[in-house]
Amino acid sequence: MSQQELRAIVAMLEQMPPLGTLPIEQQRQLTEQLLSKGSIAPGCSFEPAQVGGVPGLWAHPQRVKAGRVLLYLHGGGYAVGSANAYRSLASHLAAACEARVLTIDYRLAPEHPFPAAVDDAVVAYRGLLGSGIDPQCLAVAGDSAGGGLSMALLLAIRDAGLAQPVAAAVMSPWVDMTQSGASWANKRAVDPMLGRLGQGPSMADLYLNGVDARHPLASPVLADLRGLAPVLIQVGSSECLLDDSTQLVARLAAADVKVVLDVWPGMIHVFQGMVDQLEEALEAIAGLARFFEQQWGE
């Protein structure tokens, strides 16, 4: 790991105003500006999508194996982020996994509070199945809030009687909206992104709009997790959401779900998106691809 590059990223993030102190439109604009700077994997192209009526963006890599598809659910606290902003990460995932990647633009809070994002994810998943995609060729992934949304999607489709995808991979997942994990306090000083979220309105409050934070589709770590697809969890050791991941792996294991936890020492929130600065980002994406390859192979 290049400590110098990581320190530079942390310094840049610490110089930015905490997102929660800005009006929601400014939060979205700033997120778009930051994420849109990432490189695109060589040979990857993009195509606008409408799947089940949910808009999004297809990322097409140079090589696709056996009709494989990855449904990607972006992060952003359910309030910011977009398929366009996530073009860089989607392209690198597509190239590494040799799969088409669909990133959807699920509806955002506060205009569209819980459970709008979950509803849109389920509609998109149904749309993919309805288009003829075999669930054994379909995987799900997401980061941060999108990681929590990925877990909520697995729960919702299980309860609806739909087939599970072949596997899911979640990066720094936000799966506990009660924010009861000790890492919210003991990692605050080393997390340049989430460590300052106490300044401004809570993204959980914006999304939940009065719904109990313990609702299983808002805090999947508190749900009955039996019968879910295999899950890979990647998280950095220097982030407030560390305990979300460690608690999730324990709950999945107790529910007899195949699960792998991959903790990256010193890494910060959703470091996988920093492909142009951190070699660990590409290494983690490669590890995610190997996990999916194993599941697709089985």
Tell me which residue of 76, 40, 79 sits closest to 60, measured CA to CA.
Answer: 40
Determine contact, residues 236/267, Cβ cutoff 8 Å.
Answer: yes
Determine contact, residues 234/159, Cβ cutoff 8 Å.
Answer: no
Tell me which residue of 57, 142, 140 sits closest to 103, measured CA to CA.
Answer: 57
Task: From the candidates 91, 172, 219, 269, give the one annotated as an active-site residue.
Answer: 269
Please list, in sequence order, all residues whose beta carbon lies within 8 angstroms of the beta carbon of residue 81, skipping any fewer than 6 positions away. 28, 31, 35, 74, 75, 108, 145, 146
Asked if the bond preceding 61 is cis, omega within 30° of 0, the reply is no
Alpha helices in the chain (DSSP H): 3-15, 24-35, 87-97, 116-130, 145-159, 183-186, 203-208, 242-254, 279-297
Task: From the candidates 144, 219, 238, 245, give the one annotated as an active-site residue.
Answer: 144
Residue type, 77: G
Residue 295, CA atoms < 13 Å, CB-side half-sphere = 27
What is the C-alpha separation between 282 and 287, in angstroms, rounded? 9
Residue type, 3: Q
Task: From the candidates 74, 88, 91, 239, give the one annotated as an active-site residue.
Answer: 239
60 a catalytic residue: no
- Edge-to-edge, what's the strand order for the sheet holding 45-51? 45-51, 54-60, 100-104, 69-73, 138-143, 167-171, 231-236, 259-264
Alpha helices in 24-115 (DSSP H): 24-35, 87-97
Residues annotated as catalytic (active site), given as ranges:
144, 239, 269
